[in-house]
Amino acid sequence: MIDPETARQQLADGSLRPYELDELVGHEAATTIRREHYEATLGVSLDTIGEYTLSAEQAQSNIENMVGAVQIPLGLAGPLTVDGEHAFGSYHLPLATTEGALVASVNRGCRLLEAGGGVTVRITDAKMTRAPVFRLPGVEAATDTIAWLLEHEATVIEAAEETTNHGEVLAIDPYVVGDNFFLRFAFDTKDAMGMNMVTVATRAACQLIEAETDAELVALSGNLCTDKKPAAINAVEGRGYTVTAEATLSDDILEEVLGVPATALAEVNTRKNLIGSAKAGSLGFNAQVANVVAAMFLATGQDEAQVVEGSNAITTVDVRDNGVYVSVTLASLELGTVGGGTKLGTQAEALDLLGVAGGGDPPGTNAKALAEIVASASLAGELSLLGALGSRHLAEAHERLGR
Catalytic residue flag (residue 303): yes
Residue 246 CA to residue 138 CA, distance in Å, equals 48
Compute the distance between CA of residue 87 and CA of residue 260 in angstroms, rounded to an integer. Answer: 30
Has 321 been annotated as catalytic? Answer: no
Residues 320 and 250 sit within 8 Å (Cβ to Cβ): no
Which of the two residues, 2 and 397, has the higher pLDDT score?
A: 2
Q: Which of 92, 152, 393, 398 is catalytic?
A: 398
Q: What is the largest CA-CA distance in the chain?
A: 76
Q: In whole angstroms, give the CA distance from residue 319 to residue 262.
A: 6
Cβ atoms of 372 and 354 within 8 Å: the answer is: no
pLDDT over 60 at 395, yes or no? no
As a whole number of angstroms, the distance between CA 401 and CA 65 comes to: 36
Partner residues linked to 76 by β-bridges: 94
> Is a pLDDT exceeding 60 seen at residue 190?
yes
Is the pLDDT at 393 greater than 60? The verdict is no
DSSP letter string over 87-129? -EEEEEEEEE-S-TTHHHHHHHHHHHHHHTT-EEEEEEEEEEE
Average pLDDT over residues 61-66: 94
Domains present along the chain, CATH in parentheses: 4-59 (no CATH), 74-126+236-401 (3.90.770.10), 132-219 (3.30.70.420)
Look at residues 218, 211, 201 and name the one whose alpha carbon lies nearest to residue 160: 201
- Phi, psi (rounded to 5 degrees) for 19: -70, -15
Using pLDDT thresholds of 50, 70 and 90, give the confidence band for residue 212: very high
Q: What number is the average pLDDT over the span 357-370? A: 97
Beta strands in 7-84 (DSSP E): 74-83
Helix (H, G, I), strand (E, B) or coil at 170: strand
- Does 198 score more than 90 pLDDT? yes
Rounded to 10°, the helix 365-390/289-300 angle is 140
Beta strands in 157-281 (DSSP E): 168-177, 180-188, 216-219, 240-250
The predicted pLDDT at position 392 comes to 66
The residue with greater pLDDT, 401 or 182, is: 182
* pLDDT of res. 402: 55
pLDDT at 62 over 60: yes
The residues with which 175 forms a beta bridge, in sequence order, are 182
Among residues 303, 309, 372, 382, which one is catalytic?
Answer: 303
Beta bridge partners, 365, equal none
The pLDDT of residue 398 = 47
Q: Residue-wise over 371-395: b if at least 16 C-beta within 10 A, else e?
A: bbbbbbbbbbbbbbbbbbbbbeebe
- Specify whether the backbone of 301 is left (phi greater than 0), alpha (psi in -120 to 50) or beta: left
Q: Mean of the pLDDT values across residues 185-204?
A: 97
User: For residue 276, what pLDDT is reported?
Assistant: 98
DSSP annotation of 273: I
Whether residue 398 lies in the annotated active site? yes
Active-site option among 20, 28, 36, 99? 99
Which residue from 31, 27, 33 is spatially nearest to 11, judged by alpha carbons? 33
Nearest to 253 by CA among 387, 374, 372: 387
* Cross-strand pairs, 128: 187
Whether the Cβ atoms of residue 317 and residue 326 lie closer than 8 Å to each other = yes
Between CA 225 and CA 198 the distance in angstroms is 11
